[in-house]
Structure 1
Amino acid sequence: MSPVKERPRRVQLAVPGSNERMMAKAAASAADHVFLDLEDAVAPNAKDKARKMVVTALHDLDWAGKVRCVRVNDLASPYFLRDVIDLVSQAGNEIDTLMVPKIMKAADIRFVDRLLGMLEASAGLKRRIGIEILIEEVSGLLNVDDICASSDRLEAAVLGVGDYSASQRIDRRAINGHPDYAGDLWHYARFKLVVACRANGLQAIDGPFVDLKNHDGYRRQAREAALMGFDGKWALHPDQIGIALEEFSPAKEEVAFAREVTAAFHEQEHLGVGAFSHNGLMVDVGLVRLLHNTLLKAELFGL
C-alpha cells in the first residue's frame, strides 16, 4: 500500500467531536478537509462519548469530496491509545488521516506509524491511514526536520500557534501581532516548518486565527501563508472557509498564464532554445519549474 501525499487541504475545518450538529454541518460545508476533534474541543469527562460519536459520524454522514481526518489526543495523555484503537478498528475504512498533536521528536511518529500498521493488519484494512502532525511545542519546532523525515505515512504538518505560544512563553497579546514587536512574530516558525515539509514531500498547513470576527485579519494571515508556500490554513469557524479556499487556490488568470508560458517553453525547447522572451517576459527552465506548482494546484483542485 503506497502512501498518499497530496490531498486538497486549502482549508482544514476544526469540528468538535462531541457535537453532532456541527459535524453534520461540516460534512455539508465547502471545506476540502475536515478534522473531527477529540482533543482540545472535548472535555475529559466527555472523551469516551465523543469517540463513539465520531465513529458514528464517519459512518453515517456523507463526506464525499473531503479529506476525513480525526485529531486524537496527544501521546502523553491517557486517551491516545483508546482513540487510535477504537477509530481504526471501528471506522478505519472511513478515515483518511489521523492528526496527532504535540509531536516533539521523530520517535513519536515512528511509534504511531508502527501502531497503525499493527491495527490496520488486525482490522484487515486494504488502505493505509495517513498521519498529520501538529508542531506546537518548542522541542517539536527544534526537531521538525527529523520529524518530517521520520515516516512515509506523514502527509502534512500544522503549526499550532496556541500551544506553541505557551511553550515558548509568548505574551498572549502578541499572538496575532503587537505594535511593540517589530516584524512578524511567526515568520521563523512558519518558514522553518515549510522548509521541513518541502524537503520531505509533505504539505504545510498554517494554524488557527482565533479572532473569529476579524475576517480581514484571517485573510491577511492566509495570504501571507500562501505566499510563503503553505498549502492551506485551519478554519475554526465556517465563515473562514471561503476565505481560505480563495487564498490558497490559484487565480484563473494565473492558471491560464502558467499553461500559456509552459506551452511556449516546450515549443522553444523543441527548437533547441533554452531561454527566450515571451510577451516581454524572460522565460527559462527556472520560471517553468515555478509555474509547475501552479499547474499542480490547478489539477489537484480541478481548476
Structure 2
Amino acid sequence: MDKRLHDRKFVRTFFTTPTAESGADDSAKKLRSAIELRGMQAPDVWVPDNEDATAPNMRDEGAENIAEVVAEKGDDFPGEIHPRVVWHRDSPETRYKGFQHMLEIADPENGAVENIDGFVIPEVGDIDDWKKADEFITIVENEYDLEEGSLAMSVIIESGSAELAMGKLREEMGKADNNLERLFLLVDGEVDYTKDMRAITPTGALPEWKELRHNTSRAASAAGCIAVDGPFDDIRDVEGYHDRITANNAMGMLGIWSLTPGQVVEANQSPLPPQDGYWTIEADGRTVELTEEDGVQVYNGDRIELEKEGDTYELEIGSEELQLSEEELVEELVDLTAYVPSMDDIVDSMEEFEAAKEAGKGAIAMTRATTVSIDGVEIDISSDRMWDEATYQAMMAPVALFQDVYENRPDQHDDLAELYSEDVVERAMEVGN
C-alpha cells in the first residue's frame, strides 16, 4: 500500500477559505478571490472551508456558494479543490449535516462536481468513523452516477483516537467493505488535538507535537497518502513558518496548512532546492549562513573566534576554547560546516552519477571544497561524499518534488524558470527518467 493512489505525489500547500460571511454584499467574496489565485500564490490544494472558518448559521449558504463559485471558475483553477465539510466522531447530527453539504456541492445540476477533487473530513475518530465518512462519499458518488473512488477523502487528525486509527490503515485499505483507497491527505489539526489531549503549557501556546507530525508522516508513507501539517497561526512570523516547514520536510512532511496567500508563497517555495547553493556553519548552537566574498566563505558573527598563533590555531566557539594544529582545525571546520546545494548542484551531481553508472561504476566520490574565513584567518577545507544508488535515490526526493510541481502546476512554469533558469529546469525534468 506504499504506492501513491492519486495523481499528485506531493502537496506543499493546503489553503483554507471561508465559504460564506454574513453582512457582506456578496457572502462568497473570499471564495471568488481565492479561486483567482495563480502562480506561486495559488495552493496545490484549495479548501473552501465550510467548517471552522464559516459560522454555523452560514454553512448551508456556504455549501451553495462553493457549488456556484467552482461551477463558474473551477475550470481555470490550477490546483485541486477539496471542500471541508462539517463532521464529528461523536455527533450523528453533525455527520448528517456534512453529508447534506456534500450532496449539495457534488450535485451535477449545480455544475461544480467536475472540478471537485474530493472532500476534507474534520474531527474523525477511530477507524470505523473514517469508514462512515468513506461510506457517505460512496453514497454521494452512487447518487450522482459518479465513478466510485473518484472523489478523494482527506481527514484532519484532531484527536488521540484519529492518531491511533492511522496505524490501522494498511490492514483496512483494500478490504471489500470500504473504499478507503480514496484517502488522499492526512492533515494534522494541532489546535483541536491539544484540546482533545487536555494538554497545558505555561504560556497557553500550542505544544509542538513533533510525535504527532512524525506519526502522520509515517502513516501517510505506509498508506500511500500525503502528510500535511496544521496551521501556523502567527502569520507575520515568516521565519518561524519557514523553520517549521524545514523541520517538517526533514521528517517527510512536505505539506503545510496556509492561512494567507503570503504563507502559500512561502510554503510553495520552501521545499524546493534554493536558487543558489550556500555554506553554513554551526555557531554555538545556531546554524549561520556564511557570506561569500570573492569565492571565500566568510563568518561575520561573534559566536566563533579564530586566531593563528605560530604553527597552531586558537578556536573559540562560545565558551569552549580549542588549541589546534592546522590539520585538526580543518577537521573541526569540516564538522562545523555544511553545504546546502542549489537545484543546479543537485542536477549536476545526479547527472555525474548517472554517467558513472552508465559506465559500469556502482559508486563514486563527490568532492566539495571551499575556503572559510573567520576573523580574517582563511582555511581551505574539503570533504568527500560517496555516492551510490541509495544516495542517488535519496537525492532524487527534491528533484521528484520539482518534477511533480512542474507537471501539475503549469501556472508556475514561469516562476520556476525565473528561479532556476530554463536550462536547469530542462535538465531537472530529465534526470531520473
Q: For 2:81 and 2:250, how far apart are their aligned partners in 1? A: 26
Cα 1:154/1:217, change in 2 over 3 Å: same
Give yes or no for the alignment of 1:194 onto 2:206: no
Does the residue aligned with 2:181 lie in a helix, a strand or coil? coil
Residue 189 of structure 1: CA displacement?
0.9
Match of 2:228 in 1: 205
> Within 5 Å, which residues of 2 pair with 1:1-303?
3-6=5-8, 9-19=11-21, 20-29=28-37, 30-32=41-43, 33-62=45-74, 63-75=76-88, 76=91, 77=94, 78-89=96-107, 90=110, 91-125=112-146, 128-147=150-169, 150=173, 151-171=180-200, 173-176=203-206, 185-252=208-275, 254-279=342-367, 280-302=384-406
C-alpha deviations, 1:150-184, integer Å up to 9, x for none?
3211111111001001001122635446xxxxxxx
Letter in 1 for 2:233: V
| AA matched with 2:346 | A
Deviations 1:220-261 (A, max 9, x none): 222221222112111112231221112122334543333333
Q: In 1, Cα distance between the equivalents of 2:240 and 2:133?
A: 35
Instruction: Describe the SS at the equivalent of 1:228.
Output: coil
Q: Say which structure is richer in helix.
A: 1
**Percent identity at matched positions?**
21
Change (3 A) 1:215 1:278: closer
> What secondary structure sits across from 2:51 in the alignment?
coil
The structure with the greater share of residues assigned to strand is: 2
> Any idea what SS the aligned residue of 2:167 has?
helix
- Amino acid in structure 2 at the alignment position of 1:281: R
Unaligned runs of 5+ residues in structure 1 are 178-184
Opposite residue 299 of structure 1, the aligned amino acid is: Q
**Closer/same/farther in 2, CA of residues 219 and 87 from structure 1, 3 Å limit:** same
In structure 2, the residue matched to 1:182 is: none
TM-aligned CA deviation for residue 131 of structure 1: 1.1
Q: Which runs of 4+ in 1 moved over 4 A?
A: none
Q: Quickly say closer, same or farther: Cα 1:294–1:213, change in 2 above 3 A.
A: closer
8 Å contact kept, 1:134–1:160: yes
SS in 2 for 1:143: helix
My pick for the range that moved more, 121-130 or 287-296, is: 121-130
Q: How many pairs were matched up? A: 295
Q: How far has the Cα of 1:65 moved from its partner?
A: 0.9
Alignment partners' CA distance in 2, 1:116 and 1:87: 12
Q: Contact 2:191 / 2:206 at 8 angstroms: preserved in 1?
A: no
- Partner residue of 2:337? none
Task: Tell me how far apart the structure 2 counterparts of residues 45 and 74 of structure 1 sit (CA, whole Å).
Answer: 15
Distance apart, 1:278 and its partner CA: 2.6
Alignment match, 1:181: none
Counterpart-to-counterpart distance in 2, 1:294 and 1:247: 11
Question: What letter is aligned with 2:397?
Answer: N
* TM-score (normalised: structure 1): 0.88
When the two chains are superposed, the root-mean-square deviation of aligned CA atoms in Å is: 2.3
Counterparts of 1:114 and 1:54, CA distance in 2: 22
Are the aligned partners of 1:154 and 1:202 in contact in 2 as well (CA < 8 Å)? Answer: yes
Contact 1:165–1:175, Cα closer than 8 Å, also in 2: no
Rg (Cα) greater in structure: 2
Using the TM superposition, give the Cα deviation of residue 284 of structure 1 relative to its aligned residue in structure 2, in angstroms.
0.7
Aligned residues of 1:132 and 1:154 also touching (Cα < 8 A): yes
CA distance in 2, matches of 1:133, 1:190: 14
**For the structure 1 residues 266 and 8, does the alpha-carbon distance in structure 2 shift closer, same or farther, using more than 3 Å as the test?**
closer
Instruction: Return 42-51 or 152-161, whichever deviates more.
Output: 42-51
- For normalisation by structure 2, the TM-score amounts to 0.63
Larger relative contact order (CA 8 Å, sep ≥ 6): 1
Q: Which structure 2 segments of 5+ residues have no match?
A: 22-27, 174-179, 276-340, 368-383, 407-415, 417-433
In 2, Cα distance between the equivalents of 1:129 and 1:254?
Answer: 37
Q: CA–CA distance in 1 between the matches of 2:49 and 2:18?
A: 5
CA contact (8 A) 1:109 1:147 kept: no
Residues 1:251 and 1:301: Cα distance change in structure 2 (over 3 Å): farther
